[in-house]
Amino acid sequence: MNVIYVLWLRQLKRYLRSRARLIGSLGQPLLFLFAFGFGFGPMYAKAGGGNYMQFLAPGVICMAILFTAVFMGIEIIWDRQFGFLKETLVAPVSRMNIMLGRTLGGATVATIQGVIVFLIALLAGFRPEYWYSVVFALPVMFLIAVLFTAFGTGVASVMSDFHGFQLVMNFLVMPLFFLSGALFPLNDLSKVINAIVRIDPLTYGVDALRGVFLGTSHLGLGPDILVLSLVTVLFLIIGSHLFSKIEV
């Protein structure tokens, strides 16, 4: 447990020390929040959809968590290149504990990013149906963060090149976001798109966050949490297995 705590704390300290990284990671979510929120808002309202900012904000919060969580995996490649990972792996501790420490640290960072975007969304006009729902939103945000941090860790464990990791992640992450229902309602989709949306784990994260914040969930809050929990456990198992096979 000490190893898990130390690695969690190390990830958090890295994040707090890097102001440029913090600001840079907020750029894309804020672009979507303001450009889409105010740009498409009038059209969405005319189509009978209501306040687009209310609909969009939970999706953009999930976007901030997704990108931060997945790209935490690049630190494994960084540590491998500069020798810190070797020092960690030769320690007399379980690699499972090392992976969990890194994953929980990355998930904490991603959750903080999500909270920051949530606060900015409030300034942009987003309002939860009930303010106490923020308390219930935090565990959902953390669950999403753990899921995608484990995913990023698993992918990074089988790669040794920074550029290759970024290309693979961009190839996977952008479809995960755009097909999650973060930007559009899930009603009346074609059968093909609906099937793809249903196998996208981020779909359940976005829908769960909307359910908590707004009280409206397309798939049901219970099924959302269940799927997120099962996929998180699956990714933790896969990520732990791949991490245990790292050779430095």
Work out how many domains the chain is built from and give that number. 1
pLDDT of residue 58: 93
Mean pLDDT over each residue of the chain, to the nearest integer: 83
pLDDT of residue 119: 92
> What does the DSSP assignment read for 49-109?
---HHHHHHHHHHHHHHHHHHHGGGHHHHHHHHHTHHHHHHTSSS-HHHHHHHHHHHHHHH
The residue segments making up the domain with residue 104 are: 2-244
Residue 135's Cβ-count burial label (10 Å; 0-12, 13-18, 19+) is exposed
pLDDT per residue over 115-158, tens digit each?
Answer: 999 999 999 889 998 888 889 999 999 999 999 999 988 888 88
Give percent of the chain with pLDDT exceeding 70: 81
| Average pLDDT estimate for 30-56 | 81
Q: What is the pTM of this model?
A: 0.88
Q: Provide the pLDDT confidence category of residue 7 given band limits of 50, 70 and 90.
A: low
pLDDT per residue over 164-186, tens digit each?
Answer: 777 777 788 888 999 998 888 88
Please state, in angstroms and as integers, the Cα–Cα distance from residue 176 to each residue in 38, 134, 170, following that order.
Answer: 23, 24, 10
